[in-house]
Structure 1
């Protein structure tokens, strides 16, 4: 689900989601508001990436290889939208493949992936942001870095002005049932902690119900940005409900 939010004039987020032979995949992209044309960049990047994910996984490519290929294609599509020097559309990217082996995520920028599980929840990505860079370098404490006005400035994105794109790819192996959540920062800015997101999302009425509640929570928190959530249920082999 994707929503304009309460303070923006247009929705520059986009998502795409598709079934796989033995699972599902999804992509969420968040257009960079200061870059003209980013609404189109997000939409085209998400669509192109999901097409690559479904195609590559369907012919047997491993999820990590498929994820890297999807990011590469999305980056090419966004770069191709650049016009004159001052018009370089840009967006962030996060993807997930959920299959019997577990969860594979890929990202560039600060759109996030979370695992929301009945036995515990966690953040699966690490933002490409000024704050995270300061924390990683040991230059600032987490509290100080996130309190700084530069905290949310992204340090990596898809776009003609991004330089070489180096996606992060990670695998996660759940030990119990839960939900994989992909979201733009319109959600996690108000609810950054995985446990808080899980408290909202896990309700037993499926991924669409979870998505609706998460969207409502973001709007109730102020809705200052576009909000996009993609939710995929996941049960490890032998742990499917009813078995």
Structure 2
């Protein structure tokens, strides 16, 4: 067991953390979901919600039609306009708060949606997790969904503050993200078919937003693979918060242009991923203090493939002309589909309304490389 404040290991039966003095019972960790609920969440969505999920209809409530908003019947057709609807696994949405929402869509070209997202929000704090299942692997659509929800559940408690120094805080945050990655990894491995020659795998990206309406909001970010997180302020330049684990990123580091590398034959070949054959499970971790209003975006490559630069995404956000995160997520999905929808598309957003002022980043990302390549879906 670790301290809920600084993440230092606790002695068995300890009432207080010896490192920071926090009472052990001050922050309770989230209860583990019953095995039956885990199995239900890992399975493809039913036409009506079977279990309570933040931001989705209450159990037993028919889902809304994507065309007119009417109720979708058991046969998969809208009872109002009669249009055929995609399955809930092929298109689903979450909105756990009025400032946090996401949309996950199959796109146009793929036969199934292997992307997944899992969101949490309370007060001024939010967790945004995206896993992009690797194409042509066994049950990646199940594994990515189970992995995303396991990572979300590991991140719902406040980020540790460490022992008061920037270095100890960064180390504690890194351990917290490592635990989230471990939870996602275990969920994926648990769903790996015995004897599989193409075991399910997925990229991983997560953002924890804290203090969104305070004088300065803080973003904690972690990733493995090439799903990405961006900070897109209403005024000023946007920032890509993550560094891809991909062949394209290796080429960019060697001097290739971003466009040349990302649009080349290995533009989406990843060098690290989650799964039973993963070469490395240490996430890249960084933190950023942001001030002034703006959007936090966590997305799969099905979106950024059409707008890789922060300014390109900022232009699409401005074109949507909305402060509703659900409307904006759907607008970004529609943009990607209009450009061809060649991949699954996930867009998850949190609205930050901190007063204007300078942003400060913690030094650097944790470097990680691998020699093998795999293509994500």
TM-score past 0.5 threshold:
yes
Matched pairs, number: 236
Which 4+ runs in 1 deviate beyond 6 A? 58-61
In 2, the alpha carbon distance for the partners of 1:211 and 1:199 equals 14
Q: Give the structure 1 partner of residue 337 of structure 2.
A: 219
**When the two structures are superposed, what TM-score results if normalisation uses the length of structure 2?**
0.59
Corresponding residue to 1:92 among 203, 210, 213: 203
Name the structure, 1 or 2, with higher relative contact order (CA <8 Å, separation 6+).
1
In 2, the alpha carbon distance for the partners of 1:3 and 1:85 equals 27
Where do 1:175-214 residues align within 5 Å? Answer: 175-202=291-318, 203-214=321-332
In 2, the alpha carbon distance for the partners of 1:193 and 1:140 equals 15
Asked which structure has the greater CA Rg, the reply is 2
Q: Give the structure 1 partner of residue 272 of structure 2.
A: 156
Deviations 1:36-79 (A, max 9, x none): 1111111011000000001x328878654432221121112212
In 1, the alpha carbon distance for the partners of 2:107 and 2:271 equals 24
**Coordinate RMSD, CA, aligned:** 2.0
Q: Give the structure 2 partner of residue 52 of structure 1.
A: 154
1:26 aligns with 2:26: no
State whether residues 57 and 63 of structure 1, in contact with CA within 8 Å, keep that contact through their aligned partners in structure 2. Answer: no
Quote the offset at 1:174 in angstroms. Answer: 1.2
Higher helix residue share: 1
**When the two structures are superposed, what TM-score results if normalisation uses the length of structure 1?**
0.89
Deviations 1:138-167 (A, max 9, x none): 264545433431121000000001123110
Distance 1:170 1:206, change over 3 A: same
Where do 1:31-42 residues align within 5 Å? Answer: 31-42=133-144
Q: Give the structure 2 partner of residue 133 of structure 1.
A: 250
Q: Which runs of 5+ in 2 are unaligned?
A: 1-102, 163-171, 212-216, 357-377
Where do 1:72-151 residues align within 5 Å? Answer: 72-82=182-192, 83-100=194-211, 101-119=217-235, 120-136=237-253, 138=254, 140-151=256-267
